């Protein structure tokens, strides 16, 4: 499936698209597009998470763009599909959302500058040889910890439970904590049913428990247990997804998808104007902070206007003022 | 003319973090519902969206920066009703922070500058941030959701400069003094007026004054105060128009009501 989103001159086409069939609109967009060398935005799939960075990219970029969504097809590989979809264009750069899109783009357009984002495990899957760079998915740990301290001024000791295969997370956490005057109390587990015991060993010595996306640790049962116990013990439960905050965690910090799109627009511009100077893969710069007001109140935290301004969303399950 | 039951208040401020609009909308719903003013609230993250809705949705009130009012004042027959303040002032400024070693704005000619502006509004000629007047056309402006994002990007060496409010820098400096030791102020924007509340052509003066008085009193409740604070204001003062000029009404009673 191909969708057109010509950036600056696209308003007339957008109007047309509203009154004609989708395929016909797309076809006309590509016809118009043959005259201009723009940016191809390639999505690995039609996921809603890809919309904010694609939108921000188009808003921040001065270049025209078209959008291609990869589809699972038995008769055609991704790169072939991409080549065919963009056969009438001369892309000056590709913005790929997801690893699959980045790999397909590199195969289809090996000489074209490529910027990727939202690609899990990019260092294993995507070659950065040539004019290739991107925005990684993970926020720097120090960035996370500063945001934790902004909401929890009295934070000193952070509990961390990981499986024994996740030593990189622990090393990075200890280094970042040292810079910020924090202390990490770490427990290792080998099986998901060891998490409750690990928590009990550190609960009296920690101000907060930081839950990282470790598949051994994060199960429904463990989340329910930790969320309840932390609340009862006066321990701030720090998560990585808004869904956990809705379910009772104090806060979550996750990368801002739209900022990734803005970053990618700058990187595309740099690659096009100075192809010999490829910038390194960047960390995401913006973050989405979600806070549960009820949990904050239960922990005795003061969510004043300044704090709320730092949050992108304050969830108030009971809809009471604070 | 808008009736009390269907009056709409439109809000747009390019300094307001677009990602936070849902929080603002929830607070507005709570405060306005409690007030019984018969007023609904609509916030806009993008200037283009606001402009598109101004003519079709016919809002009774708009809370917008002066440059927006100047662009649409004649067409919408805008009359200023309320003057919000923050720390006793109705203007604010932003500071351009960079790292020690950059001693002049010329040093940022080709730099990457993070700022909490909407991606589509960086180069508005009248944009409130005035960022281009500071860093010139050569700098790459990276839009981020909030001032704190810009500051953290700077403190971790991911950008060359950040345009932020001084208050946000002070907050970060308290939390992470080691990370902000190396940051210095290189310049500041001119004073930027806070948004003001205006009545439009779609509401008569009596109804506009009634709604303005009600909004000025919102801060007497905790929910209303939270809403006003979330808009970025400490207080709001009633205005009346005399020969086209704004004058603050010397209403001490009302001022007491809006004090926190």
**Judgement on whether residues A129 and A221 belong to the same structural domain of the protein:** no
Please state, in angstroms and rounded to a whole number, the distance separating the CA atoms of residues A10 and A136.
30
**Judgement on whether residues B180 and B230 belong to the same structural domain of the protein:** no
* Predicted local confidence at residue B16, as pLDDT: 65
- Angle, helices A141-151/A167-180, rounded to nearest 10 degrees: 50
* Predicted local confidence at residue A25, as pLDDT: 34
Structural domains counted in chain A: 2
The alpha-carbon gap from B110 to the nearest alpha carbon of chain A, in Å, equals 11
Q: Which residues of chain B have pLDDT under 70?
A: 1-5, 15-20, 118-130, 240-260
% of residues, chain A, pLDDT over 70: 85
Q: Name residue, tokens 């993070």.
A: B114
* Predicted local confidence at residue A187, as pLDDT: 96
- Residue in A146, A266, A305 closest to B229 by CB: A305
The predicted model gives A47-55 an average pLDDT of 92
* Predicted local confidence at residue A95, as pLDDT: 97
> Is the pLDDT score of A110 beyond 70?
yes
- CA-based nearest residue to B233, from B213, B208, B209, B215: B215
Has residue B159 been placed in a domain? yes
**Judgement on whether residues A20 and A68 belong to the same structural domain of the protein:** yes
Chain B contact for A294 (CB, 8 A cutoff): no
Cβ-based contacts of A262 with chain B (< 8 Å): 119, 142-144
Has residue A280 been placed in a domain? no
Q: For A91-105, A123-137, A298-312, B183-197, which range has the lowest pLDDT when averaged over its residues?
A: A298-312
Q: Helix, strand, or coil here: B205?
A: helix
**Helix H or strand E encompassing B82:** strand B79-85
> Is the pLDDT score of A27 beyond 60?
no
Has residue A282 been placed in a domain? no
Residue of A nearest to B25 (CA): A313
Q: Which CATH number goes with the domain that contains A175?
A: 3.40.50.2300
Q: Helix, strand, or coil here: B242?
A: strand
Please state, in angstroms and rounded to a whole number, the distance separating the CA atoms of residues B232 and A223.
36
**Judgement on whether residues A31 and A133 belong to the same structural domain of the protein:** yes
Has residue B64 been placed in a domain? yes
Rounded (5°) CA angle A114-A115-A120: 120
* Residue range A220-251, pLDDT digits in tens: 999 999 999 999 999 999 999 999 999 999 99
Has residue B235 been placed in a domain? yes
**Judgement on whether residues B55 and B134 belong to the same structural domain of the protein:** no
**Judgement on whether residues A124 and A23 belong to the same structural domain of the protein:** yes
* Predicted local confidence at residue B93, as pLDDT: 87
**Judgement on whether residues B68 and B31 belong to the same structural domain of the protein:** yes
**Judgement on whether residues B124 and B161 belong to the same structural domain of the protein:** yes
**Judgement on whether residues A153 and A302 belong to the same structural domain of the protein:** yes
**Judgement on whether residues B102 and B185 belong to the same structural domain of the protein:** yes
Has residue B2 been placed in a domain? no
- Residue in A179, A285, A304 closest to B158 by CB: A285
* Predicted local confidence at residue A21, as pLDDT: 35
Residues 6+ apart with CB under 8 A from A85: A2, A68
* Predicted local confidence at residue B123, as pLDDT: 55
Chain B contact for A298 (CB, 8 A cutoff): no
**Judgement on whether residues B178 and B236 belong to the same structural domain of the protein:** no
**Judgement on whether residues A125 and A192 belong to the same structural domain of the protein:** no
Has residue A322 been placed in a domain? no
The predicted model gives A174-193 an average pLDDT of 95
Has residue A45 been placed in a domain? yes
**Judgement on whether residues A265 and A193 belong to the same structural domain of the protein:** no
* Residue range A203-219, pLDDT digits in tens: 999 999 999 999 999 99
**Judgement on whether residues B143 and B201 belong to the same structural domain of the protein:** no
**Judgement on whether residues B78 and B125 belong to the same structural domain of the protein:** no
**Judgement on whether residues B223 and B99 belong to the same structural domain of the protein:** no
* Predicted local confidence at residue B259, as pLDDT: 30
The alpha-carbon gap from A134 to the nearest alpha carbon of chain B, in Å, equals 14
Chain B contact for A256 (CB, 8 A cutoff): yes
* Residue range A270-298, pLDDT digits in tens: 999 988 899 999 999 989 899 998 999 89
Structural domain boundaries enclosing B151: 94-190
* Predicted local confidence at residue A73, as pLDDT: 65
Polymer length in residues for chain A: 322
Domain end: B168, B190, B212, which one?
A: B190
**Judgement on whether residues A106 and A208 belong to the same structural domain of the protein:** no
Instruction: Give the pTM.
Output: 0.79
% of residues, chain A, pLDDT over 90: 60
**Judgement on whether residues A27 and A78 belong to the same structural domain of the protein:** yes
Contact between B47 and B121 under an 8 Å Cβ cutoff? The reply is: yes
Structure tokens that stand for A62 in this block: 């001065």
| Sign of the dihedral through C-alpha A17, A21, A22, A24 | negative
Structural domain boundaries enclosing A87: 2-137+257-273
Inter-chain CB proximity B143 and A153 less than 8 Å: no
Confidence label for A74 from pLDDT (cuts 50, 70 and 90): low
Chain B contact for A309 (CB, 8 A cutoff): yes
Residue of B nearest to A150 (CA): B175
Best mutation target among B22, B33, B142, B223 (most A Cβ atoms within 10 Å) is B142
Contact between B7 and B203 under an 8 Å Cβ cutoff? The reply is: yes
Please state, in angstroms and rounded to a whole number, the distance separating the CA atoms of residues B93 and B188.
7
Q: Which CATH number goes with the domain that contains B60?
A: 3.40.190.10
**Judgement on whether residues B63 and B148 belong to the same structural domain of the protein:** no
Has residue A21 been placed in a domain? yes
Best mutation target among A146, A288, A322 (most B Cβ atoms within 10 Å) is A146
Structural domains counted in chain B: 2
Has residue A67 been placed in a domain? yes
**Judgement on whether residues B21 and B73 belong to the same structural domain of the protein:** yes
- Residue in B143, B152, B229 closest to A60 by CB: B143
Rounded (5°) CA angle A128-A273-A67: 65
Cβ-based contacts of A288 with chain B (< 8 Å): 19, 145
* Predicted local confidence at residue B258, as pLDDT: 28
* Predicted local confidence at residue A31, as pLDDT: 33
* Predicted local confidence at residue A218, as pLDDT: 95
Domain end: B137, B160, B190, which one?
A: B190
Inter-chain CB proximity A266 and B30 less than 8 Å: no
The predicted model gives A295-308 an average pLDDT of 82
**Judgement on whether residues A23 and A52 belong to the same structural domain of the protein:** yes
**Judgement on whether residues B234 and B166 belong to the same structural domain of the protein:** no
Domain end: B190, B217, B233, which one?
A: B190
Has residue A65 been placed in a domain? yes
Rounded (5°) CA angle A128-A132-A136: 75
- Residue in A146, A261, A288 closest to B152 by CB: A146
Has residue A278 been placed in a domain? no
Burial class (CB in 10 A: 0-12, 13-18, 19+), B104: exposed
**Judgement on whether residues A171 and A213 belong to the same structural domain of the protein:** yes
Inter-chain CB proximity A309 and B140 less than 8 Å: no
**Judgement on whether residues A11 and A88 belong to the same structural domain of the protein:** yes
**Higher local confidence (pLDDT), B5 or A9:** B5
Has residue B176 been placed in a domain? yes
């Amino acid at each position: 499936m191909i969708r057109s989103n010509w950036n600056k001159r696209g308003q007339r086409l957008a109007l047309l698209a509203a009154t004609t069939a989708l395929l016909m609109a797309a076809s006309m967009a590509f016809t118009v597009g043959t005259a201009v060398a723009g940016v191809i935005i390639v999505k690995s799939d039609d996921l809603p998470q890809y919309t904010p960075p694609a939108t921000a990219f188009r808003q921040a970029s001065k270049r025209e763009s078209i959008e291609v969504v990869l589809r699972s097809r038995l008769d055609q590989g991704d790169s072939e599909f991409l080549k065919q979809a963009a056969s009438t264009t001369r892309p000056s750069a590709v913005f790929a959302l997801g690893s699959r899109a980045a790999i397909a783009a590199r195969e289809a357009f090996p000489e074209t500058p490529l910027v990727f984002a939202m690609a899990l495990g990019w260092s294993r899957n995507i070659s950065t040889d040539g004019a290739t760079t991107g925005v990684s998915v993970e926020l720097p740990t120090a960035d996370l910890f500063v945001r934790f301290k902004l909401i929890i001024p009295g934070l000193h000791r952070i509990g961390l439970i990981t499986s024994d295969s996740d030593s990189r997370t622990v090393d990075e956490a200890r280094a970042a904590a040292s810079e910020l005057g924090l202390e990490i109390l770490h427990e290792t587990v080998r099986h998901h049913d060891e998490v409750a015991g690990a928590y009990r060993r550190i609960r009296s010595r920690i101000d907060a428990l930081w839950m990282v996306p470790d598949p051994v640790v994060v199960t429904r049962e463990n989340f329910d247990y930790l969320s309840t116990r932390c609340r009862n013990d006066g321990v701030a439960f720090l998560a990585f997804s808004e869904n956990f905050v809705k379910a009772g965690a104090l806060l979550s910090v996750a990368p801002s998808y739209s900022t990734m799109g803005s970053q990618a627009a700058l990187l595309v511009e740099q690659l096009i104007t100075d192809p010999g100077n490829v910038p390194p893969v960047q960390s995401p710069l913006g973050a989405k902070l979600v806070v549960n007001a009820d949990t904050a109140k239960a922990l005795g935290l003061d969510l004043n206007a300044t704090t709320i301004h730092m949050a992108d969303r304050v969830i108030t399950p009971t809809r009471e003022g604070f | 003319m808008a009736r009390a039951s269907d009056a709409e208040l439109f809000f747009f401020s390019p300094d307001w973090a677009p990602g936070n609009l849902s929080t603002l909308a929830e607070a507005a719903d709570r405060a306005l519902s409690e007030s019984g003013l018969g007023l609904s609230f609509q916030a806009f993250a993008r200037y283009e969206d606001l402009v598109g809705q101004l003519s079709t949705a016919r809002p009774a009130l708009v809370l917008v920066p002066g440059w927006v009012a100047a662009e649409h004042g004649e067409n919408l027959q805008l009359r200023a009703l309320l003057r919000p303040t923050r720390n006793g002032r109705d203007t604010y400024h932003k500071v351009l922070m960079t790292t020690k070693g950059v001693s002049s704005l010329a040093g940022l000619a080709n730099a990457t500058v993070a700022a909490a502006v909407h991606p589509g509004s960086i180069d508005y000629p009248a944009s409130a941030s005035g960022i281009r007047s500071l860093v010139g056309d050569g700098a790459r402006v990276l839009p981020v959701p909030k001032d704190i994002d810009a500051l953290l990007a700077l403190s971790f060496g991911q950008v060359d400069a950040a345009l932020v409010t001084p208050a946000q820098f002070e907050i970060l400096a308290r939390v992470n003094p080691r990370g902000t030791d190396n940051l210095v102020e290189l310049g500041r924007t001119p004073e930027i007026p806070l948004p003001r509340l205006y009545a439009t052509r779609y509401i008569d003066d009596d109804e506009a004054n009634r709604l303005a008085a009600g909004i000025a009193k919102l801060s007497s409740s905790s929910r209303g105060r939270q809403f006003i604070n979330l808009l970025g204001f400490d207080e709001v003062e009633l205005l009346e128009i005399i020969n086209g000029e704004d004058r603050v009404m010397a209403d001490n009673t009302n001022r007491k009501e809006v004090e926190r």
